[in-house]
Structure 1
Amino acid sequence: MSRSAPTWTSGERGLVRLVAELAPSVHNTLPWRIVCADGARTLSLLARGDRALPQHDPHGRDRLISCGAALTNVRLALCALGWVPEIDLLPMPVTPGEVARVVVVERGEPIDEDVVRYLAVSYRRSHRAPFLETPVDDATVRRLAAHGVDGVEIRRLGGRYDAAVLAKLLSHSAAVLRLDTVYQRELNAWTANDEHPVAGAGVAVLPRRDAALPWAGLVRRSTAIPDRVILTDRLARECLLLVETPDDGPLDHLRAGMAVEEMWLTAVGAGLACAVLTQPLQVPEVRAGLVEELSLNGFPQVLCRLGYPIA
């Protein structure tokens, strides 16, 4: 079968961009742009420098993780349209800002797992509340970890020791970020005056003053930091997954974002809720502490909380 294909239809362009916008992104900034080529079914995903967060994300790690998540949604949309996409990360020749190039190869039926993930795209939300006490079983966790992205490991954290390490490090990062005036100013600039902001409008309005880690997610000046023993107990009762990569370059960040979105959508399809934490990992001593105290072989990119939501 020929690898050439006619140009995109307006419906295909619109669907791909819409589904990409439903991907999670740092501070809900949507730090990417999709350019569909004329004359062929090829598209480029470009990182947007104008959506950079120099205080939260000085190295652009979270921005590329966000782009990776959007890329997963693009892949699922193309599969749902009946196309077989080929993805080239950090393609050559280099185009400024281009982090991925997607080429439609041929027609094909999506696999069942991709159909489930695609249907979950519009239902995915960040969960900023407690979970039910119902545990997430090991078989489900194995399904979530089977993301199919090369070089990314998703490992379950568990036991009192892991929870105590996380409680110590999360408490430290919260204390640091809560007092960082410049960081708080940037966070406020990307806070929408709405509990449910539209895509690209920033994060939700300030949470309740009694919201506390790990439920609150973002750390603000009003975020209450719980006692470390209480926080350890909370974390020990939750399903916590750590996304880890062998290196810490742009390719690793893109792949981590792709894997996180694959996992998250699989979780939604299984009736689970999820929230991702990257903010604490931007504090260097917290990231280094995770590597040392959890004996990681690579670099932690994302911490995920999963569980069954309270109706």
Structure 2
Amino acid sequence: MTSPTLDAPAVERLISAAVAAPSLRDIQPWRFGLEPDTRTLEVRAAADRVLPPADRLGRALHLSVGCVVFNLRVVAVHLGWEPVTRLLPRPDRPDLLATVRLADATRTTPAPGSYDAVWHRHSSRFPFSEVALPLDLRGELTDAARTEGADLVFTGHRETERVVNATREAERRNRKHPAHAGSRRLSRGAAGPQGASDLRPDVLPIRPLERPPQLAVLTTARDLPTDWLRAGQALERVLLLATECGVQASLLHQAVEWTDLRDRVSDSADGRRARPQTVIRLGYGPEGSLHDAATTGSGPVTHPAE
């Protein structure tokens, strides 16, 4: 099998797919490097774009980079390579979070996700319809997360209320916390090419959410940086599959930023052993767009009856 050429158009396509990945508050906290001799892409943390108040441990940073890595894998396979991924490959270089080597494809490598969905995935902050996701689709989304080493737990009615209430409380704290307010100001000036329509948990619908929202908690068994990177790949795999199936999504990440509220989300994900990484809101409704983001404002999660 003839290996494709790593020329400028291929590199541009890979990087374009990478920056289409979701990131907390759209700050895109990553930098890229390339080792041409080994055809290895490096994904590094951008220290000047990290948000310590909202992400003291770097969990959201790693989650975002995991999404980047997954997009690189999808496009690499589409272009004819077999991606070989290493997470945290150099202890002496803590900013180097992942590498993706573009190996010769010695066999037919299955695509980890839809190439077209990479370019069409957007967050939607519109309220969704009350049509429930089919059980078989829920199963496919759960399997997608599990393939990447994470779990996706759909919440029941009581658990959904618990997560929504925790999110409201997190928003209340964020509005009162000066450091978090500063993070929001920074993020609005740092959005990238897809940033204006991407997953920004600090910008919520001025329209009320559907009642009840269909929520799923993405969890891992452990809570180490490698787990966060795997969770990010699981998140993007789920989002691309949802996009491919005509399902809209957005993130409710606020509660995960606060330790005590994160415990409440953990309780909603079947036990404290699960480590929640983010909450995904899913449903059928209008697609996200630049206009969607431009017409939304910062405000509490509400329901029609409230």
| TM superposition score category, shorter chain reference | 0.7 to 0.9
Taking the TM superposition and a 5 Å limit, the aligned residue runs for 1:176-187 are 176-187=173-184
Superposed CA deviations along residues 251-271 of structure 1, whole A, max 9, x for unmatched, are: 011011100000000000000
- On the 8 A contact 2:30/2:43 being kept in 1, the answer is yes
Superposed displacement of residue 104, structure 1 = 2.3
Residue 218 (structure 1) aligned to one of 202, 210, 213: 202
Q: How many residues align?
A: 284
- On the 8 A contact 1:6/1:41 being kept in 2, the answer is no
Rounded to whole Å, the distance in 1 between the matches of 2:133 and 2:263 is: 28
Residue 193 (structure 2) pairs with residue 199 (structure 1): yes
Rounded to whole Å, the distance in 2 between the matches of 1:256 and 1:122 is: 21
Structure showing greater relative contact order (alpha-carbon pairs closer than 8 Å, 6 or more residues apart): 2
Residue 131 (structure 1) aligned to one of 125, 128, 131: 128
Partner of 2:220: 245
Partner of 2:37: 39
Superposed displacement of residue 32, structure 1 = 1.2
Partner of 2:48: 50
What secondary structure sits across from 2:276 in the alignment? strand
Using a 3 Å threshold, how does the CA distance of structure 1 residues 167 and 278 change in structure 2: closer, same or farther?
closer
Q: Aligned letter for 2:244?
A: G
Residue 281 (structure 1) aligned to one of 256, 280, 284: 256
> 5+ unaligned residues in a row in structure 2: which ranges?
288-306
Partner of 1:209: none
Rounded to whole Å, the distance in 2 between the matches of 1:112 and 1:75 is: 8
- Structure 1 stretch 265-274 or stretch 286-295: which is displaced more? 286-295
> 5+ unaligned residues in a row in structure 1: which ranges?
205-214
- On the 8 A contact 2:167/2:254 being kept in 1, the answer is no
What secondary structure sits across from 2:55 in the alignment? coil
Residue 144 (structure 1) aligned to one of 135, 141, 156: 141
Superposed displacement of residue 171, structure 1 = 2.1
Superposed displacement of residue 224, structure 1 = 7.9
Superposed CA deviations along residues 183-223 of structure 1, whole A, max 9, x for unmatched, are: 11220222149xxx6438x667xxxxxxxxxx994268xx9
RMSD: 3.0
Q: Aligned letter for 2:281?
A: R
- On the 8 A contact 1:290/1:296 being kept in 2, the answer is no
Using a 3 Å threshold, how does the CA distance of structure 1 residues 304 and 43 change in structure 2: closer, same or farther?
same
Superposed displacement of residue 58, structure 1 = 1.3
Partner of 2:298: none
For normalisation by structure 2, the TM-score amounts to 0.83
Partner of 1:208: none
Superposed displacement of residue 61, structure 1 = 0.7
Partner of 1:260: 235
Using a 3 Å threshold, how does the CA distance of structure 1 residues 224 and 270 change in structure 2: closer, same or farther?
closer
Taking the TM superposition and a 5 Å limit, the aligned residue runs for 1:91-130 are 91-92=89-90, 94-107=92-105, 108-111=107-110, 114=113, 117-130=114-127
Partner of 1:298: 274
What secondary structure sits across from 1:127 in the alignment? coil
Rounded to whole Å, the distance in 2 between the matches of 1:34 and 1:149 is: 26
What secondary structure sits across from 2:104 in the alignment? strand
Rounded to whole Å, the distance in 1 between the matches of 2:60 and 2:202 is: 14
Q: What percent of counterpart residues are identical? A: 27
